[in-house]
Amino acid sequence: MTDSPSTAWRDLFDIPDGLIYADAAFMTPIPHRVREAGEAGILRKTAPWTLSRASFYDGIEALRGAASGLIGAAADDIAIVAATSYGIATAAANLPLAAGEAVLTMQQEHPSQVFAWIRAAEQAGAVHEELPRPDDSNWTSAILRRLEARQGPRIAILALTHVHWTDGTALDLETIGAAARQHGAALVVDGTQSVGVRPLDVRRVQPDFLAFATYKWLLGPYGLALLYAAPHRQSGQPLEEHTFSRLGADQITNRYGRELRFMPGARRYDMGERANFVTVPMAVAGIGILQEIGVPRIEARLRALTDRLVKGASALDLHAAPHRAAHLLGLTGPGFDAAAAVAALRARNIHVSAREDRLRIGLHIYNDERDVDALLQALAEFRQAGR
């Protein structure tokens, strides 16, 4: 990859001139290479007589390898699932939770990391506890304090995120993971808003489960996600029962037996029909681009851009939360109507979103300083208009 990212990285995408896309937290456009991989997959399905039993495994194993490389895992630790919510539901079905214990989630957390725990707590006679947003936005310290607290039910499961989806506030998962182990709590992480653009090493964090979708920061398709299961969590019960994850299924020719044993690792948690000939190669291609550039390099580039954005926004009395990630932030300020700002910016062909009364801005490798400056100019005019 070239050392001149502003132009070269944008050229990987089909983004029209004059359009500023700063909403990667919603979803990203797919690069040319990813689209071509999907088109090739369509052609494979167009001619099914070219497919074999191996066709249901080669792409899947390539995706396991690519995904594992992003998070410091082994390929055996990765399951192919339909969505982040599918991965979280798998975790909820396989973690012990007793009556009187609690599952802790964060206030204003994405529903995909909440609904399964509400249900699990109800079924176990346990408590779903929502940790209030701390005044200083330091979620890590607030979580540690709750773990140490002697009042309230014991926290059995921490269901958290790497980066809060509304405003980009980042958590120190290594510190939280160590505290969770000390207190005997399981750790389940939603990495959808971070994996691919913010380093995360499961060997250091040691989560029990980590789920992340491909259609946002991974530059991939919709309808596909990855689930990391720690080695000691790889003997659980999958949400579905199908043949393709069973021992020896990749060698079947014309007889389907009744083998109940699973293939090694996290493969037992694979969704049915996971060998999608269109979406799987797209995901592999998207992750491949990120790995070629390098996640640390991407993070450094996006940090420079968001620092520029935050500095300019502060002059408009708009502020981001401290402890923020490099790629995602939420702006708020006195008298600021985030929803109205979204509409005003869209009228200028600048695409952002609003979440929980914050203007959410997510930058990726196709953004540059010109995008940031144009966004700031539009916000300045919006503020001057008294909106």
pLDDT in tens, 195-252: 999 999 999 999 999 999 999 999 999 999 999 999 999 999 999 999 899 998 888 7
Owner of token pair 């940031």: 372
Other CB atoms within a 10 A radius of the CB of residue 281 amount to 24
pLDDT of residue 387: 58
pLDDT in tens, 95-131: 999 999 999 999 999 999 999 999 999 999 999 999 9
User: In which band, very low, low, confident or very high, does the pLDDT at 2 lie, cut at 50, 70 and 90?
Assistant: very low
Task: Decide: 167 and 352 in contact? Cβ < 8 Å.
Answer: no
CA distances from 297 to 164, 310, 353 (A): 22, 20, 26
Other CB atoms within a 10 A radius of the CB of residue 242 amount to 13
- Closest alpha carbon to 31 in 372, 365, 369: 365
Sign of CA dihedral 213, 218, 222, 223: negative
pLDDT of residue 386: 75
Q: Per-residue pLDDT averaged across 263-291, rounded?
A: 97
Task: Decide: 324 and 168 in contact? Cβ < 8 Å.
Answer: yes
pLDDT of residue 6: 59
pLDDT of residue 257: 75
User: In which band, very low, low, confident or very high, does the pLDDT at 355 lie, cut at 50, 70 and 90?
Assistant: very high
Domain residue limits, the chain: 5-22+294-384, 41-291
Determine the Cα angle at 96 with ends 156 and 245, to 5°: 130
Q: Per-residue pLDDT averaged across 296-305, rounded?
A: 97
d(CA 277, CA 330): 37
Strand bridging mode 209-213 / 186-190? parallel
Residue 254 in this model has a pLDDT that exceeds 80: no
Q: Per-residue pLDDT averaged across 55-82, rounded?
A: 96
Task: Decide: 276 and 37 in contact? Cβ < 8 Å.
Answer: no
Task: Decide: 227 and 209 in contact? Cβ < 8 Å.
Answer: yes
Other CB atoms within a 10 A radius of the CB of residue 57 amount to 15
- Closest alpha carbon to 191 in 210, 175, 206: 210
Q: Per-residue pLDDT averaged across 296-321, rounded?
A: 97
Average pLDDT, the chain: 95
Residue 1 in this model has a pLDDT that exceeds 50: no
d(CA 113, CA 42): 32
Share of the chain above pLDDT 90, in %: 91
Residue 7 in this model has a pLDDT that exceeds 90: no
State which amino acid sits at residue 46: T
Say which residues have a Cβ less than 8 Å from residue 368's Cβ, sequence separation at least 6: 5, 6, 7, 10, 305
Residue 288 in this model has a pLDDT that exceeds 70: yes
CATH of domain 41-291: 3.40.640.10
Residue 53 in this model has a pLDDT that exceeds 90: no
User: In which band, very low, low, confident or very high, does the pLDDT at 303 lie, cut at 50, 70 and 90?
Assistant: very high
Options 1.10.760.10, 3.30.300.30, 3.90.1150.10, 3.40.50.720; CATH of 5-22+294-384: 3.90.1150.10
List the structure tokens of 283: 């995901």
